[in-house]
Amino acid sequence: VMSIIKSLGTNRDKLLKSFEHAMTDSETAKKKLKQLIKRTSTTSAKDVINSAKSLGPVKFYHIIDEELDEEFHIAVGDEAIKNDNTLLYCALIVKGSGIRIIVFAGDNAICKAGDLVKEISLKLGGSGGGDSRFGQGGGKDMSKLSDAINHAEFLIKKTVNI
């Protein structure tokens, strides 16, 4: 209890009030972050589409990210496939000792997001799944990040016959 009091910079009498204040501040910050992500996702989605690699009839965008979280990549991926229905969006998010995988597939991207995430997750020593439009998963093998992206690109090329 004393370390909590010290962390909050308060005394024993005001502990509950200080905790409530800290929780309110935290919720306010979360709401502002969500608004910021929503505002920036449109611009980021355009950048994604412009930098995606053409693989025959589809485009493939991938990123290995150690800074931004799933929430950001879900917003950007969702927006990007709305603007380009041939896009496959793949984010490998390094978080602590694990890797989160987010995949979006546009309506005309031929590959299914859930299938792609399952394969990437296996390469990274984990598991995942989803549907044709969205998939998510995870893994732990940091040494295989590049291999996982290369494998995803190989699978896409195989699916679209190039």
Task: List, for residues 40-49, the tens digit of each pLDDT value.
Answer: 788 899 999 9
Q: Can you give the residue range of the structural domain that contains 18?
A: 2-36
Residues 83 and 150 in one domain: yes
Domain count, the chain: 2
Residues 153 and 101 in one domain: yes
Share of the chain above pLDDT 90, in %: 67
Please report the pLDDT score of residue 30 as a whole number. Answer: 79
pLDDT, tens only, 10-39: 777 777 787 888 888 888 877 876 777 777
114 pLDDT more than 80: yes
Average pLDDT (86-95) is 97
Average pLDDT (63-92) is 94
Residues 16 and 56 in one domain: no
Assigned token pair, 21: 């204040």
68 pLDDT more than 80: yes
Query: Against a cut of 0.85, is the pTM above it?
Result: no
Assigned token pair, 90: 């793949």
8 A C-beta contact, residue 8 and residue 22: yes
8 A C-beta contact, residue 132 and residue 105: yes
Cα gap 94→71, rounded to integer Å = 13
Residue that is written with structure tokens 């859930």 in the block: 114
